[in-house]
Amino acid sequence: MLLVAARYRVLSSTSTEWQTLRVGGLSAEVTSLTLHQLRPETDYEFTVLARNRLGDGLFSEITTARTKG
C-alpha cells in the first residue's frame, strides 16, 4: 500500500505556500489523483511524493495546469 502526498499552489499568487493533500491505502498501480474545489480558470503548480514500506520517494518535478472555467 502507498501513501501519496500531492502538493499544489496557485501559480500567480503572491503566496508561495503549498497546500498538501495526503491520500493513503493506494495500490502501486494508481497513476492519477483528482483534486476538487480548485478555482476555475486558474493556473496551478503540482508535485507529488509517494511513500511505501521502504520510505519516502522524492517529490516529482513541478508541473503546471490550468483549470477549466
Burial level of 42, CB count in 10 A (0-12/13-18/19+)?
Answer: middle
* CATH number of the domain enclosing 38: 2.60.40.10
Average pLDDT over residues 43-54: 92
Can you give the residue range of the structural domain that contains 38?
A: 2-66
What is the pLDDT averaged over residues 51-64? 93
Residues 36-46 have pLDDT tens digits of: 999 999 999 99
Rounded distance between C-alpha atoms, residue 10 and residue 24, angstroms? 24
> Based on the structure, what is the number of domains in the chain?
1
pLDDT for 2: 82
Q: What was the pLDDT predicted at 10?
A: 93
